[in-house]
Structure 1
Amino acid sequence: MSDASDSTGAQPPSEPGAKPRRNLTWVVLPVAIFAVLVALFGFALTTGDPSRLPSALIGKPVPATEFPALAGLLEHGAPVDGFTSKTLAGGDVSVVNFWASWCAECATEQDLLGELKERTKVPLYGVNYKDKPDSARRFLGRYGNPFTAVGTDDSGRKAIEWGVYGMPETFVVNGKGEIVYKHVGAITPASLTDKLIPAIEQAKGAPKVGSALN
């Protein structure tokens, strides 16, 4: 086999204008992953159905989290409790709603959360996200409190563990504490009847109400 070096062992000079070849995998791979995520978000937004955003937690137990009670919140003169992930695994289907007083869409769905509780008879658990206690209490005083318990997530870290994209988001949890459905964005009359109630009834093992799930 011939050797490209001369008799002194020196390598011949590179051709003029030649550039060193680099491994671009570490550059291309993150860009490709980002492009896929952008495409998924774009699909959900352009179809007008943000609930189609992906969730890796569907079919899995809720994250091991504890939501302390909202300070100063009273119901009939008694403090309203917070809750934990263990609360959601007590055998009953439940709904968890992430909300904030500064979230305009949260206000639009508050009446529908009350309707959801009335029609399904399942407990609703609220998570007040990165909010001031007095602002959160005023919000519930103005728009109503449909929640069995109201916990808080002051830092926002627990919402990240739940895979929350933004306010509001609603989760249907089965009796074993597993997430079976996730709704991103404000609940509407259509999504209440066609999505959330069927998901709840399916989780309870009863015939689905309204339109079938997609």
Structure 2
Amino acid sequence: MTDNPTSPPRKSPMRWLPLAVVAVLGVLLFAGVRLSRNPDREALPSPLIGKPAPEFSLPLLHEAGRLVSSSDLRGAPYLLNVWGSWCPECRVEHPVLTRFAETKRVRVIGYNWKDEHADALRWLEQFGNPYFMVLTDYEGKSAIDWGIYGAPETFLVDGAGVIRWKHVGPLSDAVVNDELLPMLAEIEKAR
């Protein structure tokens, strides 16, 4: 049997191939994004808990010529909050951190990580500055010693300079009330 020259040409199944490839890539991309949002990321244990905070000497954001070292912060507990103007989750946690800082229960030290100086200043001017002081780590070298791999991250360090608590991800009211405040109460009781 021969094809009738007047019949319409057969449609090749190959014409759907580009659409199928795009659909498969879209599904894989969606799955990858969903898997990367691991809720257990916040529960990652830190090998630094119970150990002395890493030694550092970093410039202040508002006084670039002044260095602050880890030994300068000893003597009273502090909360070290890692943030950057480029970090969308830092903006989410900022009102929570601001409310906590207003209690003045503990010094809240900002750790501006891998940021541009002018961007960091502009960000604090726009959203408010809850920090007792802001350290800057433009190149991220000291962050390696702390085990920082993202922002925001928050550490509670006792007066002896020992890391007592770490939270990865944005602070929420629940995290402050259920985790941070009880740990802070333990530190205060031990004084």
TM-score, normalising length from structure 1? 0.67
C-alpha displacement of 1:80: 10
Pair 1:64 & 2:55 matched: yes
**For residue 57 of structure 2, what is the amino acid of its counterpart?**
E
Amino acid at match of 2:156: V
Identity %: 41
Q: 1:177 is matched with which residue?
A: 161
Does structure 1 conserve the Cα–Cα contact (< 8 Å) formed by 2:53 and 2:163?
yes
Give the number of equivalent residue pairs.
156
Counterpart in 1 of 2:70?
Answer: 85
The corresponding residue for 1:139 is 123
Q: CA deviation at 1:82?
A: 5.5
- The aligned runs of 1:12-91 (5 Å cut-off) are 46=38, 48-70=39-61, 73=62, 83-90=68-75
Provide the rounded CA distance (Å) in 1 between the counterparts of 2:98 and 2:49: 24
After superposition, the C-alpha distances for 1:141-164 in whole angstroms (9 at most, x for unaligned) are 111111111110011111111011
Where in structure 2 are the equivalents of 1:120-139 lying within 5 Å? 121-139=105-123
Partner of residue 13, structure 1: none
Native 8 Å contact 2:59 2:65 kept in 1? no
CA 1:113–1:105: 2 relative to 1, 3 Å = same
Distance 1:83 1:144 in 2: 22
Q: In the aligned structure 2, how far is the partner of 1:81 from the partner of 1:88?
A: 14
TM-score scaled to structure 2, two decimals?
0.75
Which letter maps to 2:42? S
Q: Where do 1:161-172 residues align within 5 Å?
A: 161-172=145-156
> Which amino acid in structure 2 is aligned with residue 166 of structure 1?
G
Which runs of 5 or more structure 2 residues have no equivalent in the other structure?
1-34
Measured after TM superposition, the shift of residue 121 of structure 1 is 1.7
User: Post-superposition, which runs of at least 4 consecutive aligned residues in structure 1 deviate over 6 A?
Assistant: none
Q: Equivalents in 2 of 1:177, 1:67: separation in Å? A: 16
* Structure (1/2) with the larger helix percentage: 2
Q: Secondary structure at the match of 2:150?
A: coil
Which residue identity is paired with 1:68?
A: P
Q: Indicate yes or no: 2:138 matched with 1:154.
A: yes
For 1:165 and 1:193, how far apart are their aligned partners in 2? 25
